[in-house]
Amino acid sequence: MTDRWELRDALLAAGLPPDSFQLAGVHETVPLPTDFWFLRPSADGTWEIGPYERGTYEVREVHVFESAACAGLYRILVGRPL
């Protein structure tokens, strides 16, 4: 998986509800769900993934490459590598 667009398609194909994840600039639901997993770029150019719960973002993993972050989020949400 190389980018967030492919990740979005793979997560939806795996049957995840659209409001269970947010991918910066690609898949963002409005209004903001109460809890979901996110993938977003950070200020230093790395990629962050983690849960958003009760109004708080918790970064659990940081990756240098977008492709690695996409693979990591897919593994977390689906329970297996793509």
* H or E element that contains 11: helix 4-13
Show Cβ contacts of residue 63 under 8 Å, excluding neighbours closer than 6 positions: 46, 47, 49, 69, 72
As averages over each run of 10 residues, the pLDDT of the chain (82 residues) reads 93 96 95 95 97 95 97 96 84
pTM over 0.75: yes
pLDDT given for residue 2 in this prediction: 87
pLDDT given for residue 66 in this prediction: 97
pLDDT given for residue 68 in this prediction: 97
pLDDT given for residue 48 in this prediction: 98
pLDDT given for residue 1 in this prediction: 72
Spacing of C-alpha 14 from chain mean position: 14
